[in-house]
Chain A
Amino acid sequence: MAVTTVSRKVEYLYNPPPDYPPRARRLGLEGEVLVRTRVQPNGECGELVLGQSSGYALLDQAALKAVRTWRFRPARRGDEEIVSWVEIPVRFRLER
């Protein structure tokens, strides 16, 4: 079977950053969460998993909650919009 290469990679359509969890801010928690999600042909998130924890449940949950609401431009193979996995680094940083 001939393999057609991906003609377009996944792009962000609507990806507001997560709100900083107030208690995490109060406790001074910072970190990076890696969220892996399966982008559906309709641009919504399918399966959503934590790829790498920040070490703090508060930040992990805030990242997952935000990504769940995002919309993407799905990947294409030829003319067909396809399912594909992406990995999203979500960083939480406090400004001093």
Chain B
Amino acid sequence: MLVQRRFDNLPWGLVLLVVIIAAIGLAAVYSATYTSRGPSSLFTKQLVWISAGFVIMVLALIPDYHTVGRYAYLLYAVSLVLLFLVMVMGKTGMGAQRWLAIGPFAFQPSELAKLSVTLALARYFAEDPKRGGYELRDLAIPGAMVLVPLLLVLKQPDLGTAIMLLLTSALIVVLAGIHLRSALLMLVAGLVIAALVFAVAPVRHKLWGSLKPYQQNRIKAFVDPSSDRLGSGYHANQSKIAVGSGQITGKGYRKGTQSQMAFLPERHTDFIFAVIAEEMGLVGASLLLFLYLVLLLAGVDTARNAKDRLGALMAGGIVSMISLYVLINVGMALGIVPVVGVPLPLVSYGGTSVIATFLALGILLNIQTRRFMLFY
């Protein structure tokens, strides 16, 4: 009966929205990976991932979200262990014959980490409310909670996910309520550090040197796209050409010359939005943007209607995370954000990302269905 009530409360419109976005994504992956031999096996894989994601989303509705909150730290610990394993195994990978045993199954713990950090922060701030906002010293523990996975992810190196972790956490802190003076202090400190880094040559040099060559190239390419036509600048340029040449109505499904001809790199993952924009034009691309907007605002609404701090913070955190992914990914395809390599939620090819996004949406829906309930 309880289950019955839960499904009565389920916002079916929101579920439908998720289905539509995922369907658009699948169609785009099908088109982007299509070969002259027929559909790619990547499409089939993505179909399996999406289906599995749906099941996980439904499963995430069953427990009370407080239960989810109770396991947040455990999940966080698990993803730390996984991240650590990646680092260790990555090391012995070259040093021993063991990398063979890792197998064909590529699981990305960093994708899980982004969700678990969000949930863990939500729980932390929910349990430790501060009237008038958090001061700097109150942020030491949550800061450490973010920093550890952040460094592990950076070590991989996965600059994109690290940046996303940082931005998402920042949004959550703002939502949880940071003391205005502290916020300004952090902002100023950040700016000063940034300024120092750029002003003091030795420091800058050292930092620049610590970046991997491909990361240096990406930054250079963003500053001056024409500097590197083959590398990252090439990606951004080709993406802009693909998007722009789609014009208003697009070239038609599977008729995108840029994306079909393999000019566009990473077209089924990071640059999937460019494929959609080229083949579906402004009409299709802005429809997708609109769908995301509705989904995200519905998420904000869920947070607003949540019964308690935990619900509000979890929902707010999840929405922050998903919206940052959407904004950065699309911005990248449109050439206004540096190429950092983050997936477009529900749309980009990639198993772990799809599963993590569906799990996050399941928790969001969970909070939504329980907004009228009385708690024990």
A binds B: no
A residues with a Cβ closer than 8 A to B are none
B residues with a Cβ closer than 8 A to A are none
